[in-house]
Structure 1
Amino acid sequence: MSDFTEQDLGGSTLQRVDLSGSTFREVRLAGADLRDVDLSEVRLRAAWLKGVRMTGVEAPDMEIHGEVGRLVVNGVDVAPLVEAELDRRMPERALMRPTDLAGFRTAFSTLDRLWAGTVGSARALPADRLHEHVDGEWSFIETLRHLGFAHACWVGGVVLGDLSPWHPLDLPWDEAPAVAGVPWDRDVRPSLDDVLDLRARRRATVQAVLDGLTDEGLERRVTSATPFLGDADDLTVAACLKVVLNEEWEHRLYAERDLAALAG
């Protein structure tokens, strides 16, 4: 088995090569030309697919989970159709796109209610199962820890301008750059109650922000006080809160999916 770590293979030609079962991490394939390839059972995670064009493909069984913008299938942009169907299936989803302060308050209170049900499902499982991974995804505990990081990053570090908003249990995304002072403990196994205690404190911080805001304040320009998002110069309070809403919404769906698998 060959190892091509830290090598520049740009411009290479691979013809009649078997790469079945290979692992690709932090590999740049921008501009690659793939023809007559077998991608059966391929798993892509944290992939950037801007400008991808697939022609003459056969996709008898394919799933896409992620943020989808324009997606044209056989001449039809299906993204708006998917969005409408998701809103129909989950009416609360539309509340995650607030346009005023009242909408943000409703969105966060809606998440509180939905997460209460999810946590109830988690408590019905043995405690050790909440540290199990389903299909290589984060465990339930890790999911809650990552949401703690999202709150710290976007609310603490940007909206409130805290230089060090982190808690030892915070968990950045897997591909995040290593930053001094930012916790990243993959091995710690906190209890559910410990993580929920941290979530309650982070939720109280959001509520304090909302209580002190006006509709005009939602458009206040903000910059990050931490190494994350340091190059973003167009952030507003509303934009940061929407990121947190999206993180909370999507990761709860992932958690529900994986909890169901664990229970089954």
Structure 2
Amino acid sequence: MTDFTEQDLSDSSFEKVSLQRATFRDVSLAEASFTDVDLSGVRIHSGWLDKVRMTAVEVPDLEIDGQIGRLVVNGVEVGPLVEAELDRRHPERAAMRPTTADGFREAFAILDRLWGETLDRARVLPAEQLHEQVAGEWSFIQTLRHLGFAHACWISGVIYGFPSPWHPLDLPWDEAPVHEGVPWERRARPELHEVLALRRQRRATVAELLERMDDAGLTRQVTSATPFLTDVPDLTVGHCLRVVVNEEWQHRLYAERDLATLAS
């Protein structure tokens, strides 16, 4: 096995080469060209696929899970079709795109109800299973810890401007840059009640913010006080709240999927 670490292989040519089971992490394949390649069983996590073009491909089994903008398959723009089908499957999903203060209050109320149902399903499982990962994804406990980080980052760190809003149980995303003072104890195994206690605190912060929020307040410009998001321009209160709403919605769906697997 050959390791390539911190090397520039730009403009290299690979012909009749086997890269089976190779691992690519923090690698740029921008503007690479693939011809007559076998990508069977490839798994891409946290990838950026802007302006990708695939022609003359055979796709007997392809699954995509992520934020999809423009996606054209055989000349058909399928992005709007996917969005419409997801809204049909999940009637509450349309409320997750709020543009007013009342809309955000409604969105978080819906999320509270849905997460309550999800937690009811989680509580009937053995405590150990809540730490179990399905297909390499976060465990249920890790998912809740990551949502704690999202609240700390976007609400406390940006909207409120706290430079160190972290709790030891907060869990950044896997590819996050390491910063001094930011917790990253992925192997920690707290009990459900510990994580939920922190979650209630974070949810109370959002509730307090929304209680006095009006539509004009959503447009207020904000800047991150933590090491994260410092290069993101034109952040507003509404933008930050939308990110948290999306995080809560998507990760609950992931949790529901994995809880169903664990229960079976």
TM-score by length of 1: 0.99
Report what 2:53 is aligned to: 53
- Please name the residue that 2:130 is paired with: 130
C-alpha distance in 2, partners of 1:232/1:60?
39
Cα deviation 1:80-123 (Å, max 9, x = unaligned): 01000100110100000011111100000000000001111111
Measure how far apart 1:24 and its partner are: 1.1
- The one-letter amino acid paired with 1:165 is P
- Note the C-alpha offset of 1:51: 0.6
Could you tell me how far 1:10 is from its partner in structure 2? 1.2
1:233 and 1:23 mapped to 2: Cα distance?
33
- 1:36-51 matches, within 5 Å, as 36-51=36-51
Q: Which runs of 5+ in 1 are unaligned?
A: none
Residue identity opposite 1:86 in structure 2: L
Give the letter for the 2:46 counterpart: A
TM-score (norm 2): 0.99
Partner of 1:83: 83
What percent identity do the matched residue pairs reach? Answer: 66
2:64 is aligned to 64
Partner of 2:243: 243
Which residue is equivalent to 2:99? 99
Q: Secondary structure at 1:221's aligned position in 2?
A: coil
Counterpart code for 2:182: V
Q: Residue 225 of structure 2 corresponds to which residue in structure 1?
A: 225
> Which letter maps to 1:80?
P
Match of 1:30 in 2: 30
- Give the superposition deviation at 1:169: 0.3
Once the two structures are TM-superposed, the CA of residue 21 in structure 1 deviates from its matched residue by 1.1
Structure 1 outlier segments of 4+, above 3 Å: none
Specify the SS of the correspondent of 1:175. Answer: coil
Match of 1:190 in 2: 190
Q: Which amino acid aligns with 2:256?
A: E
> CA offset at residue 233 of structure 1?
2.2
Distance in 2 (alpha carbons) for counterparts of 1:258 and 1:181: 31
Distance in 1 separating the partners of 2:231 and 2:20: 39
TM-fit CA distance, 1:4: 1.0
RMSD of aligned residue pairs (Cα, Å): 0.6
Shift of residue 27, structure 1, vs aligned partner: 1.1
Q: 3-state SS of the aligned residue for 1:136?
A: coil
Residues 173-224 of structure 1: per-residue CA shift (max 9 Å, x gap): 0000000110000121000000001000000000000012111111111110
Number of paired residues? Answer: 264
2:151: which partner in 1?
151
Counterpart residue identity of residue 43, structure 2: R
Aligned partners of 1:18, 1:260: CA distance in 2, in Å?
37
Shift of 1:167: 0.5
Q: Distance in 2 between matches of 1:87 and 1:109?
A: 18
Q: 1:141 corresponds to which letter in structure 2? A: I
Q: Which runs of no fewer than 5 residues in structure 2 stay unpaired? A: none
Q: Which residue of structure 1 lines up, in the alignment, with residue 4 of structure 2? A: 4
